[in-house]
Every structure is written in C-alpha cells, then in structure tokens.
C-alpha cells in the first residue's frame, strides 16, 4: 500500500504541477489581456452554472470507486445517467440566461449562460470507466487527462483573448477543455457505451447523500460572486475571482497530490479502523506541515506577488489574496470528505454541508451589509465573514472526524498546532518587514524582493517548526518523517559526491 501511495503521489504531483503551472500562466496572460469586469461577468455566470450542476450532480464516479466489484452494467448505467443529466442541465443553464441577465442588469449574460450550458452538455459524455485508474491507484494517465484538458482551455482562451480582448475567451476555454477531456477519457480507457439503466438504484443508493451534499456545498462556496455581484460592481467581483484563483493555485499545487489519493487509499482501509485512524493522523500532520507555510506565506508576500504577476491594475486584489489564502489553509486542516466517503458516511457529509451553508452565508452577508457601518467596507466585511466561517466550520468538522474514527479533537490539534504557530509567526515577520521596505519600481527589483521574502520566510518557518518540535520532546509525528526524509536525501547526495 505504501509503495502504491508513493508512486501515485508522484504521478499526481506531476499532474498537479503541470495543471497548476498552466493555470498560473493562463491567469497571468488573461489578466493582462482582459479587464476585471470580464472576469466578474464570467464569475457570476460560472457560479450560477455550478450551482445548477451541483443540484443535479449524481456523484457516480465516487459510487463506482467505492463499489466493491462494479460490473459492465454499472458503467453503462453511469454513462446513460450522465448523458441524461447533462442534456437537462444544458437546457436549464441556457434557459436561465434571460433571468440572470435581468437580475444583474447585463444582457451579455444571456450568451455567456448559453455557452456554459453547451460546455456542461459536452461534459456528460465523459467515459465512466476512467475511474478504474483511481480504483487501482494508477495515476500516471491523469497527467495526460488533466494536462490535455488544461492546455486546450488555455490555448483557446489565450488565442481569443489576444485577438478580440473579449470575455468570450473565458467561455471558449471552458468549452475547449471539456471537448478534450471527453476525447482523452476514451483514448485512455476503452469503452463502448450503450444505453442502460439497470444499475441506477445500486449507484444512487451510495451517491444520493453525496448529490445532496454537493448541491449544498456548491451553493455555499459558489455564492461569493452572486452575493458580491448584488452589492458591488462587476469589476470588484472580477478582482475577487482572480484573487481567489491566485490563492487557490498556490495552495492546490502543494496539497492536491496528497488529497487526490486519500479517498481511494482510505477506501482500502475502511474495514481496518486502527490502520485508517493511523493513516488519517499521518496525512493530517503532513498536510499541516506543508499547507501553513504555503498559505500563510502567500498572505505575507501577497503585495509583491500580485504586483509582479498581475500588474499594477490588480493592486486591489492584494487584501483579497491575503484573506483567502489564510481561509484556504484553515479549511484544509480537516480531510473529512475522503474519510466520510471511504467509510460510507455520506449522510454525515450532507449534514456537514448544510451546517457550513448555515454558518458561512449569514457571516458573509452580514459582512457585506454591515461592513460599511463598522468602518471596514462591504468587501472587507465579506472577507472577514468568510475567514471566520472557515475557522468555525473547521472546528466542527474535527468533531465529526472524531465521531467517525474515534479521534479526539485534542489528538487532531496535536498534528496542527506547531505548523500553525510557526506559520503565523513567519507570516507576521515577513509581512512586517516588507511593509517597512520601499516598493521597487523595476521588474528586477520586484523579482529580487519576492525571492528574498520567500527564501527568508521558508528558512524562518523551518527553524520555528524545528524549535517547537524539539521543545515538545521530539514526538513521532510529521516532523519526524520530514527529518528522516531529509537525512536520506543528504546521505544519497553524499554517497554520490563520494563516488564521483
């Protein structure tokens, strides 16, 4: 199992590096070719499209992965159900364009919603047998799948943006990526689909709670552009969306290679609770050790990063990146979804999603409405509400983990507190230092400042974590594995140097 996870993590890592690198480059190029208003327009339409998609989501891939022994009829049923769903979804999204355009007073949304509806229709033809790669922890092919999809979307978007400087570049990119995704799934895994609904009850018995949960979850996290668009300008919504992209890319680059493995890996241990508990603890410690320096570090260097990557016209995105990076790290400290799916606790996931919605939306709405009265403004009020809801929901998610695998809140916090303290101190020191330094006007100076800040922050974080670990008595946790890995790498380098 360990060797499979290591190999799988390596391939998922390659895939995520490729995908996020393309996404990072795409964000930079499109941000310089298009206006914040263009991103805001697509963000609103994409949010509505995603909510519709999640309400009708069948979660069939997860059901096929969790099923002990799916037969051919399971795959044919999954394909048929996906096509039926995609057809109705496309009609719903495209048909809602007039209502959305009326509500946000922007007729451009009619065409945008039609384009996104077409993209959702195409997505329904994905090969369901592609889940075999995940069931067998074979992630090498995901490099081709995710990389091809991302490259197609990037090339199409960049080409249209360069020629026309139009928001349609973002819509065309979505359509192109879906077409390539469908073609690639059939190229990687052979499958000749036929119409069948023989196994729909079997598949839905597992996925029904996931479907309901994803609908609530999508509305919870996709509501941002909808709420902001009702209070603020489309340009502000676009700035928020780009800031969200930038913060998500940085954090996903580090965490997705591990996260992608958790559901199939936990599923293999679902009947061995002691091993499952040990695997969860080990994963939580590793993700905490990696996520805090990335997320809190990005918040500390948000100013030079935004100005260097996006340009001066996106300066207003700096505080957005700071808040969202911190909130993203907090959310990532609990790996509840893969754990609950692997142990068939999907009903509890639905309850988690409903609770998250009840907590998050009122806090964000309250921040938008009362932010000006409190002197922080509507946007900052929403960002504060978003961060507070992330913290509260993370604590409640830890309690749910404790119920599923009998892992107390204190045991979970033991894996997190040292990286959290070290990351916080590091971020404060780096941000405070940058605030007292003059802002370089030339490109070389901006690059040098960013590299210096990242290097200094990384060194400070490692030193602080090491100090806290030593003071704690060197517990056999994530830091122990990190030290062991570092020693192995140094030994190999020394042996190679000696042989040379």
Domain boundary among 224, 258, 292: 258
| Total domain count, the chain | 2
Position 338 scores a pLDDT of 75
- Domain span at residue 435? 269-491
- Pick from 61-75, 100-114, 205-219: least confident: 205-219
Is 497 inside a domain boundary?
A: no
In this predicted structure, the answer to whether residue 176 has a pLDDT above a threshold of 90 is yes
Domain boundary among 216, 238, 258: 258
Same-domain status, 334 and 428: yes
Is 9 inside a domain boundary?
A: yes
- Pick from 140-144, 283-287, 452-456, 490-494: least confident: 140-144
Same-domain status, 397 and 283: yes
Regarding predicted confidence, which is higher, 156 or 8? 156
Domain boundary among 199, 224, 258: 258
Is 168 inside a domain boundary?
A: yes
Same-domain status, 206 and 296: no
pLDDT category at 96 given cuts 50, 70, 90 is very high
Q: Convert the pLDDT of each residue in 404-441 to its tens digit.
A: 888 888 888 988 999 999 999 999 999 999 999 988 87
In this predicted structure, the answer to whether residue 379 has a pLDDT above a threshold of 60 is yes
Same-domain status, 155 and 238: yes
In this predicted structure, the answer to whether residue 260 has a pLDDT above a threshold of 90 is no
pLDDT category at 357 given cuts 50, 70, 90 is confident
b/e string for 54-84 if b means 16 or more Cβ within 10 A?
bbbbbbbbbbbbbbeebeeebbbbbbbbbee
Position 206 scores a pLDDT of 57
**Residue closest to 385 by CA, chosen among 363, 405, 355, 359:** 363
Same-domain status, 222 and 327: no
Same-domain status, 249 and 349: no
Same-domain status, 181 and 276: no
Same-domain status, 322 and 357: yes
Position 1 scores a pLDDT of 45
Mean of the pLDDT values across residues 365-372? 90
- Pick from 193-202, 229-238, 310-319, 388-397: least confident: 193-202
Position 460 scores a pLDDT of 96
Q: Convert the pLDDT of each residue in 157-172 to its tens digit.
A: 999 999 999 999 999 9
Is 113 inside a domain boundary?
A: yes
Same-domain status, 120 and 218: yes
Position 111 scores a pLDDT of 96
Same-domain status, 82 and 138: yes
Contact 379, 36 (CB under 8 A): no
Same-domain status, 10 and 144: yes
Is 437 inside a domain boundary?
A: yes
- Pick from 139-148, 334-343, 406-415, 460-469: least confident: 139-148
pLDDT category at 390 given cuts 50, 70, 90 is very high
Mean pLDDT computed over every residue of the chain? 83
Q: Convert the pLDDT of each residue in 439-494 to its tens digit.
A: 887 888 889 999 999 999 999 999 999 999 999 888 878 788 777 777 776 777 67
Share of the chain above pLDDT 90, in %: 36
Is 264 inside a domain boundary?
A: no
Regarding predicted confidence, which is higher, 472 or 54? 472
Q: Convert the pLDDT of each residue in 209-258 to its tens digit.
A: 666 666 676 677 677 888 888 888 889 999 998 888 888 777 766 666 56
Same-domain status, 325 and 374: yes
Is 402 inside a domain boundary?
A: yes
Contacts by residues 384-387 (CB-CB < 8 Å, ≥ 24 positions apart):
384/323, 385/360, 386/224, 386/323, 386/324, 386/327, 386/360, 387/323, 387/326, 387/327, 387/330
Regarding predicted confidence, which is higher, 500 or 106? 106
Position 25 scores a pLDDT of 82
Mean of the pLDDT values across residues 368-384? 90
Is 125 inside a domain boundary?
A: yes
């Amino acid at each position: 199992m360990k060797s499979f996870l290591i190999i799988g993590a390596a391939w998922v890592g390659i895939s995520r590096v490729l995908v996020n690198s393309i996404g990072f480059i795409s964000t930079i190029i499109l941000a310089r070719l298009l206006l914040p208003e263009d991103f805001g327009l697509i963000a609103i339409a994409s949010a509505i499209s995603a909510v519709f998609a999640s309400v009708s989501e069948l979660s069939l891939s997860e059901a096929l992965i969790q099923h002990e022994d799916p037969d051919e009829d399971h795959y044919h049923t999954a394909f048929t159900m996906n096509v039926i769903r995609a057809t109705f979804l496309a009609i719903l999204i495209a048909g809602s364009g007039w209502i959305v355009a009326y509500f946000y007073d922007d007729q451009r949304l009619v065409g945008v919603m039609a384009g996104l509806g077409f993209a959702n229709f195409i997505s329904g033809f994905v090969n369901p047998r592609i889940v075999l790669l995940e069931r067998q922890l074979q992630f090498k092919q995901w490099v081709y799948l995710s990389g091809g999809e991302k490259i197609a979307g990037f090339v199409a978007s960049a080409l249209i943006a360069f020629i026309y400087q139009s928001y349609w570049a973002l819509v065309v990119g979505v359509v192109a990526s879906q077409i390539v995704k469908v073609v690639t799934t059939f190229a990687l895994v052979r499958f000749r689909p036929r119409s069948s609904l023989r196994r729909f009850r079997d598949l839905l018995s597992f996925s029904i709670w996931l479907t309901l949960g994803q609908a609530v979850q999508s509305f919870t996290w996709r509501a941002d552009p909808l709420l902001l668009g009702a209070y603020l300008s489309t340009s502000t919504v676009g700035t928020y969306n780009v800031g969200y992209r930038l913060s998500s890319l940085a954090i996903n680059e580090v965490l997705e290679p591990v996260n992608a493995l958790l559901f199939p890996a936990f599923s293999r241990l679902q009947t061995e609770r002691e091993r499952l508990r040990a695997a969860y603890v080990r994963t939580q410690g590793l993700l905490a050790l990696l996520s805090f320096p990335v997320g809190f570090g990005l918040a500390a260097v948000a100013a030079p990063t935004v100005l260097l990557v996006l340009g001066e016209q996106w300066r207003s995105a700096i505080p957005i990146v700071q808040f969202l990076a911190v909130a993203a790290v907090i959310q990532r400290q609990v790996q509840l979804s893969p754990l609950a799916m692997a142990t068939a606790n999907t009903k509890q996931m639905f309850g988690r999603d409903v609770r998250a919605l009840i907590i998050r939306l009122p806090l964000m709405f309250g921040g938008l409405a009362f932010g000006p009265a409190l002197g922080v403004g509507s946007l900052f009020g929403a960002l504060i509400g978003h961060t507070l809801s992330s913290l509260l929901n993370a604590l409640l998610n830890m309690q749910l983990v404790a119920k599923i695998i009998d892992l107390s809140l204190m045991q979970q916090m033991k894996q997190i507190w040292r990286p959290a303290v070290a990351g916080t101190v590091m971020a404060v020191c780096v941000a405070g230092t940058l605030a007292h330094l003059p802002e370089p006007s030339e490109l070389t100076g901006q690059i040098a400042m960013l590299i210096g800040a990242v290097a200094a922050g990384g060194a400070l974080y490692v030193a602080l974590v090491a100090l806290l670990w030593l003071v704690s008595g060197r517990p056999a946790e994530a830091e122990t594995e990190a030290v062991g890995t570092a020693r192995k790498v140094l030994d190999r380098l020394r042996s190679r140097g000696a042989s040379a």
